[in-house]
Structure 1
Amino acid sequence: MPRQTRQKTRYSGVFVVDLSSGDQTFYIRFKKDGKLIEERAGRKKQGMTGAKANQLRVDRMAGKSETNAEKRERLLFQAGRLRIGGLWKEYLRHKGGKLKGFRTDENRYQNHLSKSFGKKFTDDLVPLDIDKLESTIAKTHAAKTVGNVLELLRRIINFGIAKQLCPPLTFKIRIPSVDNQRIEVLTDEQFSNLNEVWDEYPDQHIVNMHKLIAWTGMRPAEPCKLKWKNIDSELG
């Protein structure tokens, strides 16, 4: 069905559509949390007017009344049935302040889960949905990222199940194992060449830091954080 033409009214953000029945439907548009929202305010024969629609819009923007989406989520919450997006909001509300890596999780959710899973119910999910998600992320990201996103999705759903906000899955979300171990051992020849480079390098301060990393196994950034109190002159 083609989109009906919305006509402007004297009120900003309030529009009206003429219906074939002779009635009119009022719509309101507003921004909330940076998101543009359009809602049906009501029909003229039901008592809706431009002024009433405008007041409804003002109340929505001020947070004095629920948006239609918020009302639906509240009713679903009361019925113990939230979409993944609703579970995510409740998860943040309960654990956001205490959650380590909050920003990282938020980025993962917005970048990889919000669009494809936000409006789904847990009992709508099938293993193929998880396979598609894994395949999509793997096209542009490392295997570790795939595992982190799947783990976040599983964590959100487990939270919802524990709080009785959603039914349990009929299958398990399995996190792919990732081998991050990387061991590099220099051969005698490579080590001899490295010593020659150290001897000839003009900045011996850099050489000393490099040797410290090589002989102690420190991470490259760790020597820069060392202080004199970290040095034990007696034990060496």
Structure 2
Amino acid sequence: MAVKKRNKTAYKGVFYITSTHPTTGVNEKIFYIRYYKNGKSIEEKAGRQHQDRMTPAKANRLRVLRIEGRVDSNEERREKIRAEREKMNTSRLWETFYDAKQENKSIKDDRNRWRAYLLKDFGRKIPEEISTTDIDKLRRKLQDRGLAPGTVKQGLVLLKRILNFGAKRGLCQPVNQAKLHFEMPKVNNIKTEDLTPRQLSSLMEAIETSSNKPAANMMLMALYTGMRKGEIFKLRWNDINFNRGFITLKDPKGGTDQRIPLNNLTRSILEDLPQKDSEYIFPGRDNGPTKEMRIPFRRICDNAGLAKDFRPMHGLRHVFASTLASSGQVDMYTLQKLLTHKTPSMVQRYAHLRDDAMMKASEVVGDMYQKMQKCGGQKR
């Protein structure tokens, strides 16, 4: 390839070559500047005659600014652009966080929260640029959308977890608590759903008449065992020991496999189910585990006339626990084990039901003594 002729201009260190524009086909001058900076000879393009409206005088002014360091050289500008692109923004930090947390059961929920609550406002931000004002704006924005306090808190907590993760991995600066404050909304998670005898009767009737038998049987399983929705969805036939009368919950919420009793009501449901070509008791698509049954569950609850805020499967788990606690026949430790909670604190919400049952039981003695006293008085 022939070397194009360099043409001098009236300005020192400014020259041009003549070239054909690749798009228009018009011949034009391309101006270059040559100078020394920090002892290094630099030669770079200043611009095109027509496309950039470059002239020898403009090229000379650019050369002077570059020599004085008031304008970056082309290489310096390219380096800054590269550095900016490689800078760890919050989106890249999230991607690293997501890849590292694949074993977490909640990572899919985190991904949904990231996309719904954080990506738009924080994706392009550099972690060090995030301020308390940004956090406050996010909290107000989510609250203005009508999200529940618990949901707002989950979004804020996720952002904080991402930043802390980045700091521990050396991907960004540690969160400065003095400059970056996460004010969390107040959340009352102690929601114990229960059903009156009439509501429970209506629900049982709606379950019995439901055309969606898998959904109906899942709801009965939750009511009879207190199992979580996810545990029922992924329950396999080999998790059921019909001979010894136990159900094994593999990889439950607490992380450690648990065993719960197979009571007669649950046994009856399972024995009546047809065993299809799947290892799962309630198979979904492609004979894998069921992923979602929200609409059928909701329809059954609506047919029973239950409140819209009653959570079908989680609510039935509460009904199971409340029924046992109020019976007066089950202590809190046993209830904790049946619900597969790690600590007793999670079953304390049912303690008052147990106390009420004990109070009623103690009154039985008083009633008996009163009857005995009345009988004794009549004999005298």
Q: Does 1:185 align with 2:194?
A: yes
The aligned counterpart of 1:139 is 144
Q: Which residue of 2 aligns with 1:150?
A: 156
1:213 aligns with 2:222: yes
Q: How far apart are the structure 2 equivalents of 1:111 and 1:202?
A: 34
1:230 matched residue in structure 2: 239
Deviations 1:34-82 (A, max 9, x none): xxxxxxxxx7999xxxxxxxxx9xxxxxxxxx674332366xxxxxxx6
Match of 1:89 in 2: 92
User: 8 Å contact 1:91–1:159 — kept in the other structure?
Assistant: no
Contact 1:147 1:176 in 2 (8 A): yes
3-state DSSP class of the match of 1:72? helix
The amino acid of 1:89's aligned partner reads R
- Structure 1 residue 132: Cα displacement: 0.8
* Aligned counterpart, 1:119: 125
Q: Distance in 2 between matches of 1:19 and 1:177?
A: 62
Q: Which residue in the other structure is 1:72 paired with?
A: 84
Paired residues of 1:87 and 1:165 also in contact (CA < 8 A): no
* Contact kept? 1:87, 1:160, Cα under 8 Å: no
Kindly provide the CA deviation profile for residues 68-111 of structure 1, in whole angstroms up to 9, marking residues without a partner as x: 4332366xxxxxxx6xx535535644x55322366655564455
User: CA 1:112–1:223 in structure 2 vs 1: closer, same or farther (change >3 Å)?
Assistant: closer
Q: Distance in 2 between matches of 1:114 and 1:203?
A: 41
Q: How many residues align?
A: 181
Cα distance change, pair 214–173 in 1 and its aligned pair in 2 (3 A): same
Q: Deviations over 1:102-129 (max 9, x none)?
A: 665556445544554433563x554332
With the length of structure 1 as denominator, give the TM-score of the two structures: 0.52
Point out the structure with max Rg over C-alpha: 2
SS at match of 1:71: helix
Among 98, 101, 114, the alignment partner of 1:99 is 101
Contact 2:117/2:142 (8 A) holds in 1: yes
- Whole-angstrom distance in 1 between the partners of 2:219 and 2:91: 45
Cα deviation code 1:191-211 (max 9, x no counterpart): 334455566x37695655543
Q: Secondary structure at the match of 2:241?
A: coil
Letter in 1 for 2:84: R
In structure 2, the gaps of 5 or more residues are 1-20, 25-46, 66-73, 246-261, 263-380
Conservation of the 8 A alpha-carbon contact between 2:218 and 2:232: yes
Q: Give the secondary structure class of the aligned counterpart of 2:52.
A: strand
Q: Helix, strand or coil: the match of 1:158?
A: helix
For the Cα contact (< 8 Å) 2:163–2:174, is it kept in 1? no
What is the rounded CA distance, in whole Å, between the counterparts of 2:141 and 2:224 in structure 1?
Answer: 42
- Give the equivalent residue in structure 1 for 2:173: 166
Shift in Å at residue 216 of structure 1?
A: 1.6
Cα distance in structure 1, aligned partners of 2:109 and 2:201 = 43
> Which structure exhibits the higher relative contact order, with contacts defined as CA atoms closer than 8 Å and separated by 6 or more residues?
1
1:135, distance to aligned residue in structure 2 (A)? 0.8
Residue identity opposite 2:164 in structure 1: N
Q: Scaled by the length of structure 2, what TM-score is found? A: 0.36
Tell me which residue corresponds to 1:128: 133
Structure-2 separation of matches of 1:147 and 1:112: 11
Aligned pairs for 1:184-203 within 5 A: 184-197=193-206, 201=209
Q: Could you say if the C-alpha distance between residues 232 and 135 of structure 1 is closer, same or farther in structure 2, counting changes exceeding 3 Å?
A: same
% identity of equivalent residues? 25
> Which AA in structure 2 matches 1:152?
L
Confirm or deny that 1:10 pairs with 2:17.
no
Report the aligned-residue RMSD.
4.6
Write the letter of the residue equivalent to 2:240: I
Aligned-partner residue type, residue 70 of structure 1: R
Code of the residue aligned with 1:135 in structure 2: it is R
For structure 1, the 5+ residue unaligned runs are 1-8, 25-42, 47-55, 57-65, 75-81
